[in-house]
A and B are shown apart, each in its own frame.
Chain A
Amino acid sequence: MAQKKYGMVIDLKRCVGCHTCAVACKLENNVPLGMFWNRIETIGGPHMDTPKGEYPYLEMSHLPLACQHCENAPCVKVCPVGATYKAEDGRTLIDYERCIGCRYCMSACPYNVRVFNWQEPKKIPSHDVGSADTPQRKRGVVEKCSMCEQRTNKGELPFCVESCPQRARHFGDLNDPTSEVSRLIRERKAERLLEDKGTKPQVYYIR
């Protein structure tokens, strides 16, 4: 078996913009207040959940947006201390103990999915949430989606995939032609974001 390359396929035809995955991510990964690792964008309108176009020709669609786990990751290239790295299984991960907080990766990311702990991580109520082995992050480091490393390392699904009520999210090995994600990419018209930037995201969208 070839090396694993984890990826995700998000079926935008199924997505209803309910924000469940965003909230699930925030809980599982103990993401502090003021930031999201996974957020739901509304395509077209000026505000959240506003449609595109003019009445009666309205159209509303959503775009869940988190780290794209690019194969050709600009953030990995610029990190001066190797805190951001490509894991063996193709995920783009951060070593939170090594990050020096220079935020070069945030400048390098075309998707604006990296968030920084500008202040002491704030939570209401103040205790930690999520899995027991969710990585801890402190003030002054960059953080982002890890495809729930604490879960996927144990063979579980990322929490956003598991919690999506519409079953719009799929997770699997892109190198395995028999996996569900590979099948979806093959059979449906799968696109990637900002493909012209050549970053080769491992998150695919089906429109």
Chain B
Amino acid sequence: MPRKRIINAWTVTLGILAVIGIGAWIYQLTQGLVVTGMNNIVSWGLYITSFMFFVGLSAGGLIVSSSATVFNIKQFKPVAKPAVLLSTVCIIAAALLIVVDLGTPERMLNLLLHPQFNSPLIWDVIVITVYLVISLLYLYHMTRPNPNEKSIKILSSVALPVAILVHSVTAWIFGLQIARPTWHSALMAPLFVASALDSGLALLLVVIVALNKFRLFNVPKSLISTLAGLLSVFIAVDAFFVFSEVLTALFPAEERLMAYINQMLTGSLAPFFWGEVILGALIPFMILIFRKNRENMTLVVLSSVLVVMGVFFKRIWLLFSSMLLPLLDYAPGVTLGKYNLPVSFRTGREVVPNIWATLGSYTPSWVEITIVLGVIALITLLYTLGAYVLFTPKQEEHSHTQGGEGHATQSHAY
């Protein structure tokens, strides 16, 4: 009984959050992007940060699950279903986050009507669409009563390179920009793939432990421990890339680049940079390298949550380290683009709002936070419903409706 009740409460809460998010988006549509914290210097904010984050989460899960089939790692096969469903909902989140970031979403079809194939953003639109279609097909084939091994094999062989590509292309959106010193790096794509691997696998671990707990899907504990071991390797690879990238920027101590790097090391982005290094990499790595800890589900979940959080921090410092400082930093600077007469206008104390800044600053507004939370709630809801419908075998669901709840998936051992 409590299990059922918890699932219901969870579903209802997510539904409410999603509806609130949609409400916030409608509000944003009526007002324009002025209701966000973005401005002409920091022209991308929480939406694009979260977009990168979700593409990574999506790619990571699918890379792990499809390599199980491609390289015939039988041991990993049980997680394929929850992993592909996770990839699907995360890529939907990424697509939604691009839509809410657009200034004129009513012209979104221009992406199809007038695609300019030179733009990395169009590459991303194409590769995300392909990826979504493949994930759905993959999911469909896996959850059929009698899965066709051959088509699953073919789909996973396509899914694996596309999953790597989807995050590489997202990296190139940033990495190919000559105007942004901390983005413009050949290491960007490998770095993104590394963060996709660790954050995606970490989220998958959290999800399968939760599915186990609520008996929606059963994954053997030994497999969770093995995956946790793999996670520790991925964390190390990610940390290695970050170290290599930062060292390359730091060593020449070139003045302009140092201004950007110092924001990460000691400036306003330091909590996120060091937060990622310590909470997102060092601590979970130190926990997961010991086999004993990998067998402790609480520690596995804790480390995974830390990794996911750490990679989100990384998205933050990565995006904003390049956005805060204009390359030409002369006074009075850049016009911020928003103009709202202050309340004091009438009293004559402050006559005009300041529209200038030489240095960018950004705080997400409540609208942005609400919309992002709404997107997260929506895809979590999708996942929960998907898990309920797809992972529960038909005949058992039948008995479930007849004979009460609680035992529906207990014997489920795919």
* Closest chain A residue, CB of each to CB of B124: A80
| Docked CA distance A188–B89 (Å) | 60
Shortest C-beta distance, A148 to chain B (Å), equals 19
Contacts of A100 in B (CB 8 A): 102-105, 107-108, 110-111
For residues 165 through 183 of chain B, which have their beta carbon under 8 Å from a beta carbon of chain A? 173-174, 177-180
Interface size class of B (residues with CB under 8 A): 35 or more
The answer to whether A111 and B103 have CB atoms under 8 Å apart is no
* Closest chain A residue, CB of each to CB of B334: A112
Of residues A47, A102, A141, which shows the largest number of chain B Cβ atoms within 10 Å of its Cβ?
A: A102
Known contacts A80-B119, A100-B111, A102-B121; A34/B339 CB under 8 A? yes
The answer to whether B337 and A118 have CB atoms under 8 Å apart is yes
The answer to whether B44 and A107 have CB atoms under 8 Å apart is yes
* Closest chain B residue, CB of each to CB of A36: B335
**Interface residues of B: mostly helix, strand, loop or mixed?**
loop
The answer to whether A141 and B104 have CB atoms under 8 Å apart is yes
The answer to whether B32 and A140 have CB atoms under 8 Å apart is yes
Partner of A115, one of B34, B110, B337: B337
Q: In the complex, how many residues of chain A place their beta carbon closer than 8 angstroms to a beta carbon of chain B? A: 57
Which of A4-12, A71-79, A158-166 is the contact stretch?
A71-79
| Docked CA distance A158–B69 (Å) | 63
Which of A149-157, A168-176, A177-185, A194-202 is the contact stretch?
A194-202
Shortest C-beta distance, A95 to chain B (Å), equals 9
The answer to whether B34 and A81 have CB atoms under 8 Å apart is no
- Report if A67 contacts B (CB, 8 A): no
Contacts of B353 in A (CB 8 A): 34
| Docked CA distance A140–B337 (Å) | 11
* Closest chain B residue, CB of each to CB of A99: B104
Q: How many A-B residue pairs have CB under 8 A?
A: 175
- Report if B336 contacts A (CB, 8 A): yes
* Closest chain B residue, CB of each to CB of A46: B331
The answer to whether A35 and B355 have CB atoms under 8 Å apart is yes
The answer to whether A140 and B335 have CB atoms under 8 Å apart is no
Partner of B40, one of A33, A35, A46: A35
- Report if B401 contacts A (CB, 8 A): no
Contacts of A99 in B (CB 8 A): 103-104, 107
| Docked CA distance A65–B331 (Å) | 11
- Report if B251 contacts A (CB, 8 A): no
- Report if B101 contacts A (CB, 8 A): yes
Partner of A140, one of B33, B125, B340: B33
Shortest C-beta distance, A187 to chain B (Å), equals 26
- Report if A109 contacts B (CB, 8 A): yes
* 10 pairs of A and B residues whose beta carbons are closest in the complex: A101-B103, A34-B339, A140-B103, A41-B330, A110-B179, A119-B34, A140-B104, A33-B339, A80-B121, A106-B43
